[in-house]
Amino acid sequence: MRYLLCNGSPKGSTGNTARILDALAEGISSAPGQHIIRANLNRVQEHESVVSTLLESEVIIIAFPLYTDAMPGITMAFIEALRPHIDRFETHTFCFIVQSGFPERIHCEPVEKYLVRLTEILGAKYGGTLILGGGMMMNPKRFQIVNHIGARLSDTHIFDETCIKKATPLIRFPVVSRGIISLATKLPIAQSFWDSQLRANGAYEHRFDRPYESKG
Ligand SMILES: Cc1cc2nc3c(=O)[nH]c(=O)nc-3n(C[C@H](O)[C@H](O)[C@H](O)COP(=O)(O)O)c2cc1C
């Protein structure tokens, strides 16, 4: 089986997405005869050549982090590069990994819906979306889940549904916790990192600007 593992993080090999794909690749390789190619989508000039590799692959995994509640622009650019090949994907299975800093599943669900629709538009088979909330780092439990999904992939060519459910069971924090978190984020300490970034970029005084607000 030929797999293409695409890393849609702007950080490429140094980011968290790369570690998740390492765990997946290790799981896939545990079965004999699997051929894995990896591509970093932050090399935008290589997108055309990755599309050619994709057309020769059978299972395509596109993994990306949530940046400002959406997929990174480089991932979107790669998806746009598939447009001229619509209807050449009947023999391809597309699986996705979406990981977010926030731990609740709900942040990734809108993009998950888009990915289901995207696969339909491409005319490919949908192999599932693995959502990993709280994705700031890899831990042993997460490694085990992703590794197991990889190991099962050679049999089923889709992501294991049970593992997907186990990966991020928290949909939303309970109401009480949401209230506490909302108060905590207003404390100066919670803002200190972002404030330091704003100051470092000379933007602190403009932090409440609304440049697109209608004047009329
Ligand atoms: C510019 C930027 C925007 C982000 N926006 C979100 C967001 O909207 N929601 C979220 O849950 N996490 C957000 N995160 C956290 C990332 O999704 C998380 O750290 C992820 O593990 C990064 O993966 P990477 O290292 O492969 O790029 C953001 C991170 C950055 C750097």
Q: What are the pLDDT digits (tens) for 108-148?
A: 999 999 999 999 999 999 999 999 998 767 889 999 999 99
Q: What atom in ligand 1 is closest to the CA of residue 7? A: 26
For residue 216, name the pLDDT band (cuts at 50, 70, 90).
Answer: low
Instruction: Provide the pLDDT for residue 139.
Output: 87
15 within ligand 1 shell (Cβ under 6 A) = yes
Instruction: Provide the pLDDT for residue 81.
Output: 98
Instruction: Provide the pLDDT for residue 138.
Output: 80
Residues 6+ apart with CB under 8 A from 127: 59, 93, 94, 95, 157, 158, 159
In the three-class reduction of DSSP (H, G, I as helix; E, B as strand; rest coil), residue 59 is classed as: strand
17 within ligand 1 shell (Cβ under 6 A) = yes
Give the tens place of pLDDT for each residue, 151-177.
Answer: 999 899 999 999 999 999 899 999 999
Domains of the chain: 2-167 (3.40.50.360), 175-206 (no CATH)
11 within ligand 1 shell (Cβ under 6 A) = yes
